[in-house]
Amino acid sequence: MIIPAEEVVQKFKDAFGDKILDVNIQETMKGVRRQIPQRIIRMKIEGDIFYDAFSLLCDIDYPHASAPMTFRLHEDKMELIYVFAIFSGSGNYQELPVIFQVMLDKDKPRVRSVADLLPGMILYERETIEMLGVDIVGAKDRRNFLMPKSVYEKEKGMLPYRADLGFGFDDYYKRREKEEADKVKAEENPKADDKAKTEEKPKTEEAK
């Protein structure tokens, strides 16, 4: 049964109170020939209630992950952004996107896995562990799958999305460029030495 966005929000407020840091309902217009409004819930919450909040969402209507997880870095917080949708397949843009903005400690980010409730989240959680270094508590699959193993063997402690720690993609490629430049320079130096020796030899023979 489809319920209004306001009623969905109220269920979360009743369940979690001030653990919900901020919540708002946005409205966008969808459609080409006929403009139809679609509502979107954005909810900023503490990381320690995310599992229970997602469980409540499942009780309202079984969700699907409608976009990959993303993140923002703040001064002392990491914000994981989960995008779900409920009431899917109801037509006329009655699907209700629900965006959780989950606030974690930036230095020791930790959040509970929800893959037992929505198995498709496994891949998103693996990416979050590998690329951001988030401790996904209860994750059953922690294997890396985006970057080659050889990169991590060479770049100890690398977290590709954490440019703020000096372990990001930019830092990696800068190091790679420097290594390549040093390699080219090393290969050119022997040639320069050989040329110098060749030029010196006739002068030595003339001196004799």
Sheet with 96-105: strands ordered across: 20-30, 36-46, 96-105, 77-86, 64-73
Sign of the alpha-carbon dihedral angle for 5, 10, 13, 14: negative
Residue 188's region, left for phi above 0, alpha for psi from -120 to 50, else beta, is alpha
3-state secondary structure of 196: helix
**pLDDT tens column, 123-173:** 999 999 988 999 999 999 998 888 777 777 666 677 888 877 766 556 666
**pLDDT tens column, 81-133:** 999 999 988 776 789 999 999 999 999 999 999 999 999 999 999 999 988 99
DSSP state of 47: G
pLDDT-based confidence at 178, cuts 50/70/90?
confident
Given the candidates 3.40.50.720, 3.30.460.80, 3.40.190.10, 3.40.30.10, the CATH classification of the domain at 5-146 is 3.30.460.80
Q: Taking the domains of the chain in order of start, what are their residue ranges?
A: 5-146
Question: Residues 50, 112: contact at Cβ < 8 Å?
Answer: yes
Sign of the alpha-carbon dihedral angle for 69, 171, 103, 138: positive
